[in-house]
Amino acid sequence: MSETATFEEGRLERIAVVRIRPNEDLVTAVEAACREHGLQHAIVRSAVGSLVDAVLEAGDRVIEVAGPGIEILTLNGELRSGADGEVVADLRGTIADGKAQVYGGRFRRGENPICITLELVLQEWVPA
């Protein structure tokens, strides 16, 4: 199944620097940070942190990576308000386990607990 590209005009505005604490889920905590800072639409600018364990989706595959101490190498994605007004995250990235094996995909909701902390920079996107 191929996805079609969509283009949207808008502008970048406010920046929120966020710290997510241990054992919070990556996806739901980033969504909560957007709500806390009043961001209806945002993009991930940068992130540094680690996970206890990780679960990614890559196409039809589910990749489970046992920790502890999974390093987040890259994290990108966007957050958008759905029809119900709730912010929903689509976060993707690459991670490395303790044996330096690298994995990539979409982070599954509720299955990626933060290990020590995650430092995150979000930037508001305001559609035209």
Give all domains of the chain, ordered by start, each with its CATH number: 12-127 (3.30.1330.80)
Mean pLDDT within 87-107: 97
DSSP helix/strand/coil, 111 = coil
Find all residues with CB under 8 Å of 115, minimum gap 6, and list them: 22, 49, 50, 51, 52, 67, 68, 69, 70
**What is the tens place of the pLDDT at every residue in 46-86?**
999 999 999 999 999 999 999 989 999 999 999 999 889 89
pLDDT at 4 over 60: yes
Q: Name the band, by pLDDT with cuts 50, 70 and 90, for residue 45.
A: very high
**What is the tens place of the pLDDT at every residue in 106-119?**
999 999 999 999 99
- Rounded Cα–Cα distance for residues 75 and 58 (Å): 15
Please give the pLDDT value at position 20.
Answer: 97
pLDDT at 1 over 60: no
DSSP string across 23-86 = T-BHHHHHHHHHHHTT-SSEEEEEEEEEESSEEEEETTEEEEE--S-EEEEEEEEEEEE-TTS-
The two tokens of residue 41 are 């639409």
Please give the pLDDT value at position 65.
Answer: 97
What's the predicted TM-score (pTM) here? 0.91
Across the chain, mean pLDDT equals 95
